[in-house]
Amino acid sequence: MKKIAAALVLATALAMPGLAYAKDLTIEAQIAAYRGPNTFLAIYVTKPDGSYDSTLWVAGQNQRYYRHLRNWVRGISSVGGNIDGISGASVGAGQTLTVHASLADSMIDAGYQIHVDSAVENGGEYANDVVMPLAQASSGVVATGTGYVQSLTVNF
């Protein structure tokens, strides 16, 4: 179990000062059991129109491999590509990644979605391995991934 705490002050929250009530999230990503090097993961949020909004966490510090997290890289490229302070170690097979994040209340139940891209060096790569609506009803619901993420749970 990896415990990683990320204190995020998100641009969206600052842009709407009247609604700056933050909601704490705990995201748990259970990685499938496979043989091979660690998984690279990007956990990020998209806007109601499907465009990229913000990054919650990147697991894997070697940026040369980020291009395999394709949907996320495309998104972060569109906003300038700064990922300072939101990355940590890649995650081994069978392990669980836990991320704490903080989002503005206004983003809940507003059409935003949480995405996870996953990739393994010299292995497969899955853009949108898991996509989950950022909705109160999804809290605690276990979503199944199509790639290296076996399951994803978001609690808020």
The correct pick among 9, 14, 24, 78 for binding other proteins (CB under 8 A) is: 78
The correct pick among 11, 61, 110, 141 for binding other proteins (CB under 8 A) is: 61
- Contact between residue 21 and residue 115 where contact means Cβ atoms under 8 Å apart: no
d(CA 3, CA 128): 23
The region of 1-9, 14-22, 119-127, 136-144 touching other proteins under the rule CB under 8 A is 119-127
Give the H/E segment covering residue 110: none
The correct pick among 127, 130, 152, 154 for binding other proteins (CB under 8 A) is: 127
Examine residue 37 and tell whether it contacts other proteins (CB under 8 A): yes
Q: How many residues bind other proteins (CB under 8 A)?
A: 27
Nearer to other proteins, 124 or 133 (CB): 124
Phi-psi region of 143 (alpha: psi -120 to 50; beta: other; left: phi over 0): beta
- Contact between residue 130 and residue 143 where contact means Cβ atoms under 8 Å apart: yes
The region of 18-26, 32-40, 97-105, 109-117 touching other proteins under the rule CB under 8 A is 32-40
Question: Which ranges of the chain would DSSP assign to H, the alpha helix?
Answer: 11-15, 70-78
